[in-house]
Structure 1
Amino acid sequence: MDKRLLDILVCPVTKAPLIYQKKNQELICKASRLAYPIREGIPVMLPEQARKLTLEEVEQIK
């Protein structure tokens, strides 16, 4: 994930910053508890395409 792109992307729901999770190829928003997928190198920033995170998953994110 390009650092410059990550710096300008925000959660479309909360406008909070995103955390890149390389292992799952996702962009994580702690505020909305959503994980946006990255498909073929392109972030899919649609809330309806995002995976809902459990509270435990959110607490484990650094």
Structure 2
Amino acid sequence: MALSRELLAVLACPGCRGEVRLLEDESGLVCPACRLKYPVRDDIPVMLVDEAEEIGE
């Protein structure tokens, strides 16, 4: 089961409240402003700053 468009429309970065984008492989959500990747585990987005990974350029 993939993430629904409705869920993606309401999710925001917990750090800056900015928009997040789903990666093509659906492994995570990326906040371009904070440069963080939030993981998706078992089709559930883990929207915790402590669980996020920094992304490179």
CA–CA distance in structure 2, aligned partners of residues 25 and 46 of structure 1: 15
**Runs of 4+, deviation exceeding 2 Å:** none
Unmatched 5+ residue regions in structure 2?
none
TM-score, normalization by structure 1: 0.83
TM-score, normalization by structure 2: 0.90
Kindly tell me the number of residue pairs found equivalent between the two proteins: 55
Q: Identity over aligned residues, as a percent?
A: 36
Unmatched 5+ residue regions in structure 1?
57-62
Q: Does 1:25 align with 2:27?
A: yes
Larger RCO: Structure 1 or Structure 2 (Cα < 8 Å, ≥ 6 residues apart)? Answer: 2
